[in-house]
Amino acid sequence: MATQQLTIPMFPLNMVLLPGETKTLHIFEERYKQLVADCLDNEAHFGIPFMHQKAMGDYGIEVKISNVIKLYENGELDIAIEAIRVFKIIEFSKVLTPKLYGAGVIQFEEEITEKPSHLLQELTKEYMWVSQENIIPIDAFDNTNVYGIARLLDLSAPEKYELIKAKSAINKEDYLKPKIKLFIHLIKTENELKSKFVLN
């Protein structure tokens, strides 16, 4: 079911956050200082569309400002943000006159509520075991989804972008499973090489 379209302020970055992920941003450009001030005044959220090689992707993430960490004398500031929902950009305006910053007409993607599949859970447990030797509690995946799994992985911005634009929870899982298998293989190979080096 298509959700309604709405317009939100935009802050394009070479960065992709997954729902639930947090990040600190240093704000120094005048247009984005204005954007942050407006969002704080109106308790509003803004969007981060993914910029890659000077091109803007069709998808981005809605974020909320959870905290102003530091305000500098020159007006620059550090803010903590939290990613909320994935959206598709319908239309983008570089400048939303009379404001200095841009805005986009967006449509939110359907929220993922399903628990990860048993196979994805097992792969993730194996990945966590071989990478950090952590045993995952049996109920660790009861209150999470495919994005919760993805946040445990060291995905690049382009990889995260491919994940958020995959159309359904099943498509997202199909994207993640081979990646996790590859990560497990690489870590095991690296560990074997280390042990051989130590033995010699």
75 and 36 in a single domain? The answer is: yes
Number of domains in the chain: 2
Given a cut of 90, is residue 193 above it in pLDDT? no
**71 and 20, same structural domain?**
yes
Q: Which of 108, 126, 143 is the last residue of a domain?
A: 108
- The band of 2, judged by pLDDT with boundaries at 50, 70 and 90, is low
Quote the CA–CA distance of 179 and 1 in Å, as a whole number: 30
Burial class (CB in 10 A: 0-12, 13-18, 19+), 108: middle
Closest CA to 164 of 35, 31, 29, 60: 60
pTM of the model: 0.87
Q: CATH number for the domain including 53?
A: 2.30.130.40
Helix (H) or strand (E) holding 112: none
Q: Are 10 and 47 in contact (CB under 8 A)?
A: yes
pLDDT tens digit string along 93-130? Answer: 999 999 999 999 999 999 898 899 999 999 998 998 88
Residue 61 lies in a domain: yes
Angle at 166 between CA 161 and CA 169, to 5 degrees: 120
Residue 190 has pLDDT above 70, yes or no: yes
Torsion over CA of 147, 152, 155 and 160, rounded to 10 degrees?
A: 10
Residue ending a domain, among 108, 131, 161, is 108
Residue 69 domain boundaries:
5-108
- What are the contacts of 179-183 at 24+ separation with CB within 8 A? 179/153, 179/155, 180/120, 180/123, 180/124, 180/127, 180/153, 181/123, 183/127, 183/131, 183/153, 183/154
Assess whether 145 and 58 both reside in one domain: no
Residue 176 in any domain: the answer is yes
Residues 90 and 165 in one domain: no
Does 21 share its domain with 95?
A: yes
Which of 55-64, 65-74, 126-135 has the weakest average pLDDT?
126-135
Instruction: Say which amino acid occupies 75.
Output: G
182 pLDDT higher than 90: yes
Binning pLDDT at 50, 70 and 90, where does residue 194 land? confident
Same domain for 125 and 41, yes or no, is: no
Mean pLDDT for the stretch of residues 44-64: 95
